Amino acid sequence: MKENRLKTKLQEGKVCLGTFGRLGPAAVEILGHTGWDFVVIDMEHGGFDIPHVEHLLRAARSAGITGLVRVPEPRSSYIMRALDAGAEGVQIPQVETGEQAEIVTKAARYYPEGNRGLCSFVRASGYRSIEPDVHISTSNQEVLTVVHMEGELAAKNADKLLDAPGLDVLFLGPWDLSQSLGVPGKTDHPKVIKVIEEVIELCQKKGKAVGTFITKPEDALKWAEKGVQYLMYSTDAGMLVQAAREKLKSMNEVLKTFNN
C-alpha cells in the first residue's frame, strides 16, 4: 500500500478537509481536482455496494484524493471488503463500547496487529502484483481507522474507545449525538457542544486525532482552534445543491427585468 497522505498530514498535526461521497466517480474526481484532502465513500447512508465502491476508489486514486469508506455498520466483514477494494481507510459507525472498538480496529489490520482476513488476490494488493509480505506490512502501517462516536453511551465510554489498538481518529457525529441527547438536529445545543468539547479534551490527553462534521464553513476555524484535525463538511450532493441554488439565484437577479 502506498503512503497514505491523509494519515501523514494528521500525524504532522495538520488540519485536513474532506466530505462524504454519495454521487459517483465524477464527483470524486472533481473533489480531488479541486484540492480536497479526502472523500469518505458513504455505504451507510449512500446507495453503494462494493462494485460501486471500487469505481469510486479508482476515481479517487486518479484525482489524487485520499479515498476512505464509511461501512454500513460495525461488522468485520464490511471492513475487510472495503479495504480489499482498495480503500485507504475505513470510517466505522455505530461503535458504542471499548470492546466494539477493539473488534473493528483489529478487523482493519493484519496479524500481528489485528485479524483482517488475508487474501493476496484482491484489488488492494494489485491482484497479487504486490508481494504478500509487503502488502501486509504497508497496509498495517498506512490504513487509517476512524471510529464514530455518535451517541450518549459512546460518549460515556470514550476513554475505553480511545484505548482500542489501531484507532487513528475518533470521529464525533453531532447529528446522531444530538438525537441521543434528546435534542435531535440541534447540533449547536449546549448539551451537544459540552459532550463534544469534553471528548476533544480527552482525545488530546490520549494523543489521538479527533474529527467532526460541519455544515457551515465558518465552523472549520472554531473546531480547528479546539484541536479538531479531521474536518468533514457537508456531502458532494449537498455542495451541488448549495452551488446550484446560489447560481440560480444570481441569474434570476440578473434576469429579473425579463421575468416580472
What element of type H or E holds 68? strand 66-70
Look at the chain and report how many structural domains it folds into: 1
Task: State how far the Cα of 158 lies from the Cα of 150, in Å rounded to an integer.
Answer: 11
Task: List the domain range (segments joined by +) for residue 104.
Answer: 5-259
CATH at residue 20: 3.20.20.60
C-alpha cell at 219: 465552523
Q: Are strands 89-92 and 66-70 parallel, antiparallel or unpaired?
A: parallel
C-alpha cell at 85: 477494494
Task: State how far the Cα of 231 lies from the Cα of 214, in Å rounded to an integer.
Answer: 7
Q: What tens-digit pLDDT sequence spans the chain (260 residues)?
A: 999 999 999 999 999 999 999 999 999 999 999 999 999 999 999 999 999 999 999 999 999 999 999 999 999 999 999 999 999 999 999 999 999 999 999 999 999 999 999 999 999 999 999 999 999 999 999 999 999 999 999 999 999 999 999 999 999 999 999 999 999 999 999 999 999 999 999 999 999 999 999 999 999 999 999 999 999 999 999 999 999 999 999 999 999 888 77
